[in-house]
Amino acid sequence: MDVASGVTDSGADRTTPDDCTGFKGAATCEVPWLEIVVLATRIDPDRSAVREWFFETPIWPYGKTACKLVQAGRSDVVIAFLEDALRDASKAARSS
């Protein structure tokens, strides 16, 4: 399963990616996959776009992808980035 498939057409799936091993907290899988996927799909509902973003797009100013940040135990940075993007989009929508 990839990150983008954490949300299905029938709703949220509380499973985590199969490649959770090697991530900080992997034994208990403390990585908040569902929260990251839900936030990202609120920005772009296209699961393939979310997957591409997660694995291939560096987050400014860290210069690392969301995947690399999560692997480094920085899920908080990824979540904050997504929340900021949603807040900015909401402000822009209200001002237009």
Burial class (CB within 10 angstroms; exposed 0-12, middle 13-18, buried 19+) of 14: exposed
4-45 per-position pLDDT tens digit: 433 333 333 333 444 544 444 444 456 788 899 999 999 999
Give tens-digit pLDDT for 42-93.
999 999 999 999 999 999 999 999 999 999 999 999 999 999 999 999 999 9
In sequence order, which residues have a C-beta less than 8 Å from that of residue 51 and are 6 or more positions away?
A: 2, 3, 4
Residue 12 backbone phi and psi in degrees, to 5: -75, 140
Cis omega (within 30 of 0) for bond into 61: yes
pLDDT level of residue 96 (50, 70, 90 thresholds): confident
Q: Give the pLDDT confidence score for residue 29 in this predicted structure.
A: 56
pLDDT attached to residue 31: 75
